[in-house]
């Protein structure tokens, strides 16, 4: 599997594209081959796969993260539709603490976003019936689950929708801002 890896503005967050094999039947792609990811310097040991389906365009999920010992790295891809995908650096000693990077991911693009441990993650759907699939390197733990409000003015994320258009859970709507008190993953 040949990987194209592009570092985003925060270099630890990577946009990854693998090769697709196309013939008259359609396409085939290997989306994850551990030895190829390790050879490219991505050694996360993924232990759980998750999938979400959002009915409405403008659905916001996040910004979520887990604290020790269940801190998670994520490898995110879109199976159907498109998303505006966001990673917020919450590493205590990072020079990028409180900054975010974003990428648009679309089904059929072959692109995946690597969100390393130490980041909050969330996305906004850009099309109805969007399905997102992601691998994580630590299992889910409700006791270690945390989040940051998607509209936190301190983060100044340029979401592609207005707040009154967003579809989100009660839990996500009530998440605290990054400074209430300061939020760190590690």
Name the residues annotated as catalytic.
Answer: 64, 134
Which residue has tokens 């966001």? 86
Q: Assess contact for 59 and 106: CB atoms under 8 A.
A: no
Q: How far apart are CA 118 and CA 19, in angstroms?
A: 29
Q: How many residues does the chain have?
A: 186
3-class SS of residue 115: strand
Element spanning 131, H or E: strand 130-136
Q: Assess contact for 148 and 100: CB atoms under 8 A.
A: no
Q: How far apart are CA 143 and CA 53, in angstroms?
A: 24
Sequence-distant (≥ 6) Cβ neighbours of residue 77 within 8 angstroms:
31, 105, 111, 112, 113, 132, 133, 134
């Amino acid at each position: 599997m040949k990987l194209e890896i592009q570092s985003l503005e925060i270099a630890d967050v990577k946009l990854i594209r693998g090769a697709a094999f196309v013939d008259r039947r359609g396409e085939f792609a290997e989306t994850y081959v551990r030895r190829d990811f390790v050879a490219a310097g991505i050694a996360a040991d993924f232990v759980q796969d998750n999938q979400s389906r959002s009915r409405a365009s403008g659905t916001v999920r996040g910004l979520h993260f887990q604290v020790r010992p269940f801190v998670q790295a994520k490898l995110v891809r879109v199976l159907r539709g498109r998303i505006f995908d966001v990673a917020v650096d919450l590493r205590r000693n990072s020079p990028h603490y409180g900054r975010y990077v974003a990428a648009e991911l679309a089904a059929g693009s072959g692109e995946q976003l690597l969100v390393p441990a130490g980041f909050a993650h969330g996305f906004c759907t850009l099309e109805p019936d969007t399905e997102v699939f992601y691998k994580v390197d630590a299992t889910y733990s409700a006791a270690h689950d945390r989040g940051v409000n998607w509209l936190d003015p301190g983060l100044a994320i340029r979401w592609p929708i207005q707040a009154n258009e967003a579809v989100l859970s009660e839990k996500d709507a009530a998440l605290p801002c990054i400074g209430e008190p300061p939020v760190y993953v590690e």
